[in-house]
Amino acid sequence: MNILYDERVDGALPDVDRQALLQALQSRLPGLEILHQQEELKPYECDGLSAYRTTPMLVVLPRHIDEVQGVLRVCHELHVPVVARGAGTGLSGGALPLEKGVLLVMARFNNILGIDPAARTARVQPGVRNLAISQAAAPFGLYYAPDPSSQIACSIGGNVAENAGGVHCLKYGLTVHNVLKVDILTVDGEHLSLGSNALDAPGFDLLALFTGSEGLLGVITEVTVKLLPKPQTAKVLLAAFDSVEKAGRAVGDIIAAGIIPGGLEMMDNLAIRAAEDFIHAGYPVEAQAILLCELDGVEADVSDDCDRVRQVLQQAGATEVRQAKDEAERVRFWAGRKNAFPAVGRLSPDYYCMDGTIPRRELPGVLHAIAELSNEYGLRVANVFHAGDGNMHPLILFDANQPGELERAENLGGKILELCVKVGGSITGEHGVGREKINQMCAQFNSDELTLFHAIKAAFDPSGLLNPGKNIPTLHRCAEFGAMHIHGGQLPFPELERF
Amino acid sequence: MRGPEDFDDSQLLLEQVNQALENATPLRIQGSNSKGFLGRTTAGEILDTRAHRGIVSYDPTELVITARCGTPLSELALALDAAQQMLPCEPPSFGDGATVGGMIACGLSGPRRPWSGSVRDFVLGTRVITGQGKLLRFGGEVMKNVAGYDLSRLMTGSYGCLGLITEVSLKVLPKPRKVLSISLEMDPERALLRLAEWGQQPLPISAACHDGTHLHLRLEGGEGSVAAAHERLGGERLDASYWEDLNEQRLSFFDEDQPLWRLSLPHNTPRLSLPGRQLIDWGGAQRWLKSDAEAAFIRQVVDEVGGHVTCFSHGLTDTPFQPLPPALMRYHRNLKQQLDPRGIFNPGRLYAEL
């Protein structure tokens, strides 16, 4: 089932007179940069999920928050859908434009408004890059903890909209745990401050509700994040295993020993080989799985924990345990993992990255099932896994130039996500639903739950003009999706509630 | 792990809510009523959640515990203790029978909050009976889950005004290997300066309270880091029970007759000049005030530094929670209207308009 906006199942969008809209924006906001020529629109037709493209009706690039407010007011009056976009690095198509909508690019709001070392906060505009915050905080010995792999390019506004994660979530949390306050504009351009400069705020926790709401409830105009003191030291252990089951059990054993690593990553054999070919990190290419375990904190504690983890890994049956002997080797161990996606990309013309989460105990069974699905669909799958927090990133290898392969990859991906739901997990741990997983939302939530989500949307955007079609599917879409999935009169997961 | 009183009472709770929906009867959701003094006085038929109790699942290696709303917090603590784990946000009980549901609905956190995160930070998933009379599930038992809106965290701290939480899954963590509490004699101004300075360093502080003459600190971590911090900071040993007495408001500071106010402030707020006595907690971000000053005056002083105030003395003011700006209140009303259209869940508990 195609994921591009389909008015038949996703809801009719208002027909807009493009020329009238352009004139209204030009006359009301004379300083606003507007792109409307076909060749200017082209670069904005997709975000990080580049397999799906739609040319937006118009692109606006405001430089002042007043202009954002003006755009929202004009669009609200003329009943035009608005899709907000930060750096465009999102992997779920959350910023995929609409043919009948305006793409509101927030990337030019890239000023750090203030760092307060005594309060350990940074106040930033939404277009500021994730890594730029940590760089600005570094002179004070502070940093911003969430580190999605795109941190060099992704912007904080997008991080909040997607509730972005990274490799250190088990210990340091997701975006929602590291943001104090967000300023937003509602669909009709009204300003609200959610959260506060204190650790809580009166009323409902709208800050938590907006974090990860994927641009459906408002447009983020300013973010105040929490900063942490930089850990004194970080050490990495690399352990090799002759089976993924053993590696999976070792993860549980580390936790059971009362240790919370800063990062705990797993890679399977295909991912190990790809990374080693590309980066030469010194990974053991014969291993069926490796674990990378990073311990950070105060020197004395980290040394003790390294000894404990080493013992746990050996008892769990690791064929080899290595500790990075210096900073250069630590960086090299991580380089292999951090470049796993492009490394796998070298094995195949295209790859498709999944983002399901599962309870860790389910790992061996899920990996086994993924291997079976991989055979069934005739597509290779490499597995990279934030093992500490149960977030899997299976990478499906395919060739978009082969007829039908993209569709086969999508279907295989969909099956993997439904499997995650079945074992008690989620279809997305950190990339968001966007358009990409809009169909799988129907597997994770029943119609009553989706109806409640639509009610929340209606409280903030009753006209449904903010990022329509993303995050929450219509009941109509789910009904069709459900019908398609009946094979031989049997639903794939009969125990799940359906409608 | 199953207790003799474990019971799944969700169907009866659902029936009660549906009955209330049918008759438009306002409900007052209640566990042991240990936190009944918080919020506005409201009418309503009491909906007792305590029969729906028991730990549904707990796997220490997954770091997740799931419990029904009527489960006593003490039962949760026992199960976690047995596995050497804890709920890091240290929710206060304010009474023997305090329940998991009340902890989530009030969203109050203890001394570790600035370093560990709040109750809502540890909420992974909930089951909720909604204003449409349905029992639904949001979130789950995994650490990372960004599918759909984060309804579970929205419910946390909403004082039961958006629905009935019947079950919750919480992230838990291993207890620290080493805990040491110390007291240092210094005045509050100096203590706040010190805390701001130490906050920028990787010190293993997990609680910081100033009682007017002494700064009390709790150090938690590995043996090495705690010993090093102790050596550096010095101070007298303090009994660990201090933190529970602080959290449960059993210190003599809380005894006096004067009204009690909770001030939530930005981290680096200097000492505030207010009539009455103050106790500094959360390294400066939470302060307790015993004062006869007018509510409006206290609010004005706190508002000017970017904080907010909650009245912890029941019935003293009709707006125990800081009034919201009009635009924000409008969206609160919209949300209440959407999720509880018949207005049956704790109407008026948080604000008269909700």
Contacts of A342 (CB under 8 A, 6+ apart): A278
* Closest residue on chain B to A249 (Cα): B61
Cβ–Cβ < 8 Å for B242, B181? yes
- The verdict on a CB contact (< 8 Å) between A170 and B143 is yes
pLDDT at B2: 73
What string of DSSP letters covers A37-68?
SHHHHGGGS--S-TT-----SEEEE-SSHHHH
Backbone conformation region of residue A469, classed left if phi is above 0, alpha if psi is from -120 to 50, else beta: left
Helix spans in B137-237 (H):
151-155, 188-198, 223-233
Helix spans in chain B (H):
10-23, 73-82, 100-106, 113-116, 119-122, 151-155, 188-198, 223-233, 241-247, 295-304, 326-339
Shortest CA distance to B6 belongs to which of B85, B63, B72?
Answer: B72
Q: What is the DSSP letter of A270?
A: H
B283 has a chain A CB within 8 A of its CB? no
- The verdict on a CB contact (< 8 Å) between A198 and B146 is no
Locate the domains of chain A by residue range.
7-105, 112-229, 233-343, 348-484
What residues of chain A lie within 8 A of the CB of B350, using their CB? 203
- The verdict on a CB contact (< 8 Å) between B222 and A301 is yes
Distance in angstroms (rounded) separating the CA atoms of residues B300 and B315: 20
> Would A233-343 and A348-484 be classified into the same CATH topology?
yes
Tokens of B20: 């209330």
Beta strands in A77-226 (DSSP E): 82-85, 102-105, 112-116, 121-124, 142-143, 179-185, 191-195, 219-226
Instruction: Give B219-222's long-range contacts (Cβ < 8 A, gap of 24+).
Output: B219/B178, B219/B179, B219/B180, B219/B181, B219/B182, B220/B176, B220/B178, B220/B179, B220/B180, B221/A297, B221/A298, B221/A301, B221/B176, B221/B177, B221/B178, B222/A297, B222/A298, B222/A300, B222/A301, B222/A304, B222/A305, B222/B176, B222/B177, B222/B178
Cβ–Cβ < 8 Å for B222, B177? yes
Report how far apart, in Å, the C-alpha atoms of B248 and of each of A193, B94, B180, B239, B263 are: 32, 6, 20, 15, 17
Give bridge partners of residue A262 from the DSSP assignment: none
- The verdict on a CB contact (< 8 Å) between A200 and B118 is yes
pLDDT at B1: 61
Angle B305-B308-B311 from CA coordinates, rounded to 5°: 135
B140-194 confidence digits (pLDDT tens): 999 999 999 999 999 999 999 999 999 999 999 999 999 999 999 999 999 999 9
Alpha-carbon gap: B119 to the closest alpha carbon of chain A (Å): 11
CATH of A348-484, one of 1.10.3720.10, 3.30.70.2740, 3.90.1150.10, 3.20.20.60: 3.30.70.2740
What residues of chain B lie within 8 A of the CB of A358, using their CB? 142
- Across chain A, mean pLDDT equals 93
Locate the domains of chain B by residue range.
10-174, 178-311
Chain B interface disruption, residue of A200, A435, A453, most B CBs within 10 A? A200
B137 has a chain A CB within 8 A of its CB? yes
- The verdict on a CB contact (< 8 Å) between A359 and B62 is yes
B311-337 confidence digits (pLDDT tens): 999 999 999 999 999 999 999 999 999
Nearest by CB to B63, from A255, A426, A472: name it.
A255
B43 has a chain A CB within 8 A of its CB? no
- For residue A482, pLDDT over 90 is answered with no
Look-up of token digits 């899997």: A392
Distance in angstroms (rounded) separating the CA atoms of residues A60 and A234: 43
The pLDDT-based confidence of A496 (bands split at 50, 70, 90) is: very low
The pLDDT-based confidence of A498 (bands split at 50, 70, 90) is: very low
CATH of B10-174, one of 3.30.70.2740, 3.40.920.10, 3.30.465.10, 3.30.360.10: 3.30.465.10
A390-403 confidence digits (pLDDT tens): 999 999 999 989 99
ipTM (interface pTM): 0.98
pLDDT at A1: 60
Cβ–Cβ < 8 Å for B341, B319? no
- For residue B64, pLDDT over 80 is answered with yes
Question: In CATH, what number does A7-105 get?
Answer: 3.30.43.10
- The verdict on a CB contact (< 8 Å) between B117 and A173 is yes
Q: Which CATH class is domain A233-343?
A: alpha beta
Question: In CATH, what number does A112-229 get?
Answer: 3.30.465.10
Give bridge partners of residue A224 from the DSSP assignment: A123, A181
Look-up of token digits 């474990």: B6
B350 has a chain A CB within 8 A of its CB? yes
Angle B233-B239-B241 from CA coordinates, rounded to 5°: 125
- For residue A119, pLDDT over 60 is answered with yes
The pLDDT-based confidence of A485 (bands split at 50, 70, 90) is: low
- The verdict on a CB contact (< 8 Å) between B146 and A204 is no
* Closest residue on chain B to A362 (Cα): B62
Of all residues in chain B, the percent with pLDDT exceeding 90 is 97
pLDDT at A167: 87
A263-309 confidence digits (pLDDT tens): 999 999 999 999 999 999 999 999 999 999 999 999 999 999 999 99
